[in-house]
Chains A and B, each alone.
Chain A
């Protein structure tokens, strides 16, 4: 697979000596959906802005489609579509005017804007409302329009900074569909940041977890989940006594089992290295063999949430983090809004 984004040793230090991105390297393959996960102020948006030419990196090299993004930002911008965290739609203009302007800013001809614009607005279900002022649009419509606008010049790579933030479940599902359609039908590379782990898990081929301006982990979601530990099977046996004890001993001796522990409440917790679902049939046959009846059984696989928490440590940064980290996150947030 050809790499369309190559970032090497990227560092971004702002004027106030805030180190937003600290010596990170990664690459994104053509046609890949690549997810960037991390707490607020971790450096996600800063990295994107360096790649798309909005910010000048302090150090490092960035190549987009083989072009040096730092020295030829103008060329790189034509390959890139960008929908920012906050939808940047002019609400005093109609949906069509917003789209038309963007097309002209990318130096498309009037005819190109007309044909592509219609195509895109129809795809995003906004064609009927194109003539309405966008101040009458719902939040979901604005987000769809924002993504549609980012596509008018047929970019090779689409950057979506928190594409589903604050949207309802239905709208999020619709946007996921669009993202997948863009990849399969237009072979577009998609680089997204998100706070929703299930979204990253469902959409992304690979994810990078970024924290304190560094990449803490980077792999396929499945591999990351396997990396932080196995599946957990919790079983409640109906019987107790020697038969059950002997069954537990047998389970403990199975090769895939990492750990078996019995709680006071009569629940047995079995940690499996991986593929816990394949261990379950074996458990059943062993239980029958030992004459032990099973009341209930549950399999829990680590989610990307667990992976994320494993690498970033704290659930809510503001509560768990130090004072300095809190300031850092706030400053980074403010910078985004400025």
Chain B
């Protein structure tokens, strides 16, 4: 139980700062508006073409794109979780945490929980904006809850990866460079913004193993077609499984990096 309390207070600190950074909060709202409002409208012409509509699986490009935007936001948010550990190390806060009788695992877990909650909030905002722009979520309110859950699991994967890197890379700038190097290819080799059917074969092959695609699949299903457990199960399994793996990996990496 104390582990859970420790995890919560590590997360609590991050969340206070998240809500306090107003500009950042506003940006998290503006960004999806721009993507959905501008990009979505621009691309609307594409799905009016029946051939393309078949590829996208919907005549509403916005509906196709919303899951992609959700994951992109989670992706770009989650990968920065590691930065806070680098920062804490720099200002000596990490040492202070470790001088307290808390479980060492609570530190990475708390940071990951904070990243997941932040992502959840951002996803909720995107869902609301998408609804206002005319996207009807086929699986209804329950579907939105599952979308949130999947997005948060996806956030655990990304923040876990980021924390694992941050455990060994102690320079903020280097971490930034590596994270940026990873996120863009992850995004564009997935089917988050374009259907696999429209991709050349080699790219489609990458896309089908890309974890981002696995996170997109259930989201798209719930947004466009509705409840289809059989279709979603494999991808859900991959996402939840990876989330658990990265909880363990981040924890292990952090323990190793702080053992001396």
Contact = CB atoms under 8 A, between A and B. Distances in A.
Interface of A: 14-15, 52-56, 74, 77-78, 80, 82, 84, 86-93, 97, 101-102, 104-107, 337-338
A82 B260 contact: no
Given A84-B96, A86-B92, A107-B2, A56 B16 contact: no
Nearest to B21: A92
A92 B20 contact: yes
Nearest to A338: B170
Interface stretch (B5-13, B112-120, B147-155, B188-196): B5-13
A92 B259 CA distance: 28
Given A14-B260, A15-B260, A338-B170, A88 B93 contact: yes
21 contacts: A15-B260, A56-B259, A77-B100, A82-B96, A84-B92, A84-B96, A86-B91, A88-B92, A89-B93, A90-B91, A90-B93, A91-B91, A92-B20, A93-B13, A93-B16, A101-B9, A105-B6, A105-B97, A105-B101, A337-B90, A338-B89
A68 to B, nearest CB: 15
Given A105-B9, A337-B90, 5 more contacts: A77-B99, A82-B99, A86-B91, A104-B9, A107-B101
B92 to A, nearest CB: 3
B129 to A, nearest CB: 28
* Dominant SS among interface residues on chain A: loop
Contacts of B99: 52-54, 77, 80, 82
A84 B101 contact: no
Contacts of A56: 259-260
Contacts of A105: 6, 9, 97, 100-102
A282 B83 CA distance: 71
B17 interface: yes
A90 B77 CA distance: 21
Nearest to A76: B101
A313 to B, nearest CB: 30
Q: Which are the 6 A-B pairs with shortest beta-carbon distances?
A: A88-B92, A105-B100, A77-B101, A88-B96, A104-B9, A82-B99
A53 B89 CA distance: 17
A193 to B, nearest CB: 15
A89 B9 CA distance: 16
A74 B170 CA distance: 26
Contacts of B5: 104, 107
B197 interface: no
B92 A92 contact: no
Contact of B13 (A101, A337, A338): A101
Interface in B1-40: 2, 5-6, 9, 12-13, 16-17, 20-21
A58 to B, nearest CB: 10
A106 B20 contact: no
A288 B9 CA distance: 77
Nearest to A97: B16
Contacts of B2: 107
User: Which of A86, A87, A88 neighbours the largest number of chain B CB atoms within 10 Å of its CB?
Assistant: A88
Contacts of B96: 82, 84, 88, 102
Contact of A88 (B9, B95, B259): B95
B87 to A, nearest CB: 9
B109 to A, nearest CB: 14
Contact of A92 (B17, B97, B102): B17
Interface string B157-170: 00000000000001
Interface string B184-210: 000000000000000000000000000
A87 B92 contact: yes
Contacts of A82: 96, 99
Nearest to A88: B92
B98 interface: yes
Contacts of A107: 2, 5, 101
Contacts of B16: 92-93, 97
A103 B89 CA distance: 20
Contacts of A97: 13, 16
A120 B248 CA distance: 39
Contacts of A77: 99-101
Contacts of A104: 5, 9
B200 to A, nearest CB: 46
A77 B90 CA distance: 22
Interface string B71-100: 000000000000000000111110111111
A106 B89 contact: no
A163 B73 CA distance: 44
Contacts of A52: 99
A89 B2 CA distance: 23
User: Which of B5, B21, B93 neighbours the largest number of chain A CB atoms within 10 Å of its CB?
Assistant: B93
Given A101-B9, A338-B170, A55 B101 contact: no
A101 B100 CA distance: 11
A105 B96 CA distance: 10
